[in-house]
Amino acid sequence: MNAELRQVKTAAEQGLADAFAAARGSLPGAAAVAALREAAFGRFVAKGLPHRRVEEWKYTDLRALMREAKPIAAPPGVPEKAQAKDAGGMLGSLEARRLIFVDGAFVAEMSDLTALEPGLTIGSMADALAAGEPLVLEQLSRPADDMALALNTAFMGDGAVIAVREGVALARPIHLVFLHAGKPAAIYPRSMVDVGRASRLALIESHESADGRDDQVNAAIDLVVADDAHVDYVKIGAESSKALHIASLTALIGANARFNAFVFTTGGAVTRNQFFIRCGGDNSTIRLGGVSLLKGRQHADTTVVLDHATVGCQSREVFKAVLDGASRGVFQGRIIVQPKAQKTDARMMSQALLMSEDAEADNKPELEIYADDVQCGHGATAGALDENLKFYLMARGLPERDAEALLIQAFIGEAVEGIEHAGLRDALMDEAVRWLGARV
């Protein structure tokens, strides 16, 4: 590492260094955790915030986009917690088990921890770090190249630690509800979810905050899906349109498993959802999808690295972006097919609907195929709504905005359709309809 090559620190980089120096003594975890934090922060110091010349961050130049580093969130008090009473309400009809996080901190007394199904354990990450839980430490000690993930490891505060023992099919979804309520701050949630062999879990993660707040959220979740397990994961980003939101999902998928992940984004000034997914067992089925509904100057980047390391896995990716105003949608999809991953069947599609001349869509597919007996394909489109279709609908009596809304629903429906849980599918479509209704 050549220090001369490093650019001058930006205000945000300096702010992060100061914040780390000030917080390192009080962040949860004993010596082993502290060492992980130091190592992760060391990687950050060496490289700085990712910028446009870092290929993986080409379209989301954090060095330019992040002007300052917010102070680390303070533990929530009574008034902050009180604001979380109705958080996650849009999914109220699902009767999910709600786990509440205010300013990143787990609020056990507001979370639904009653009558836990046998085989399900739920704990707080801060507690797990303090106790030095071996399984948690082991998971955290896998070094990540990614700078956002490194920063999360350095600063991680709290989050959920969930384990589902083998052979347990949970009927109720678990919903991690993140609400930011105190002074706008930097929040670093870290969660870990371990789903045992042949178990079933539907996991929801939502992030909300009042409009106008400019929090900086860097969330990460580590997920292990054992053989024959079936996991649905849906993430909803509905924060203030001034927030910076970075989220990294790292998943290891076993054999004959099903993993279905979906990310729905309407909030944030700058959002980056990263998926690092590795097929670690044969014959699994992976479905990844997402919908971003953006307006104004919002920017949302979805970056997927899908590593087919084993035989006979099937993956499908369908990502859609509706871009209004001067918003920008980014999709980077990388598929790696390792030499031994024969019979891989991987398909990736990303489509952007440009609702205004100032909107921009960027798409970067990367296929790295090292096996010969595979099917691998990708497609991308970006364009405006079909004017002839719009006229057809208007000629039947739909006002222009309604005609557009119906066509947009059809457009995103193709992605939402991939969510297996019917209640979740409906809830997200309702959210989309609300968003469309608010268009002027």
Partner 1 sequence: MSLLEIKNLHVEVGGRKILNGLNLSVEKGQVAAIMGPNGSGKSTLSYVLAGKPGYTVLEGEALYNGESLLTMPPDERAAKGVFLAFQYPLEIPGVASMTFLRTALNAQKKTRGEPELSTPEFLKRVREVAGKLGIEPEMLRRSVNVGFSGGEKKRNEVLQMAMLEPRLCILDETDSGLDIDALRIVSEGVNNLRSSDRAMVVITHYQRLLDYIVPDVVHVLSKGRIVKTGGKELAHELEAHGYAQFAGEAA
Contact positions toward partner 1, by CB under 8 A? 387-389, 391-400, 402-403, 406-407, 409-411, 413-414
The smaller minimum CB distance to partner 1, of residues 372 and 387, is found at: 387
49: buried, middle or exposed (CB in 10 Å: 19+, 13-18, 0-12)? buried
What is the distance between the alpha carbons of residues 172 and 65, in angstroms, rounded to a whole number? Answer: 39
CB of 392 to partner 1, least distance (A): 5
The smaller minimum CB distance to partner 1, of residues 198 and 407, is found at: 407
**Cβ density class 199-223: b for 16+ within 10 Å, e for less:** bbbbbbbbbbbeeebbbbbbbbbbb
CB of 421 to partner 1, least distance (A): 20
CB of 290 to partner 1, least distance (A): 17
The smaller minimum CB distance to partner 1, of residues 53 and 396, is found at: 396
3-state secondary structure of 38: helix
CB of 328 to partner 1, least distance (A): 25
Residue 245's closest CA among 290, 209, 199? 209
- Contact between residue 318 and residue 291 where contact means Cβ atoms under 8 Å apart: no
Residue 123's closest CA among 131, 416, 252? 131
**Alpha carbon distance, N-terminus to C-terminus of the chain:** 51
The smaller minimum CB distance to partner 1, of residues 120 and 394, is found at: 394
The CA–CA distances, whole Å, from 61 to 84, 198, 201 equal 32, 41, 35
The smaller minimum CB distance to partner 1, of residues 201 and 403, is found at: 403
Phi then psi for 276, rounded to 5 degrees? -120, 105
Largest separation between any pair of C-alpha atoms in the chain = 69
The smaller minimum CB distance to partner 1, of residues 368 and 400, is found at: 400
The smaller minimum CB distance to partner 1, of residues 36 and 353, is found at: 353
CB of 419 to partner 1, least distance (A): 15
- Contact between residue 405 and residue 433 where contact means Cβ atoms under 8 Å apart: yes
The smaller minimum CB distance to partner 1, of residues 114 and 388, is found at: 388
CB of 357 to partner 1, least distance (A): 17
CB of 379 to partner 1, least distance (A): 15
In the numeric block, the tokens 């009042």 are attached to 210
CB of 414 to partner 1, least distance (A): 6
Which stretch of DSSP H or E encloses residue 145?
A: none
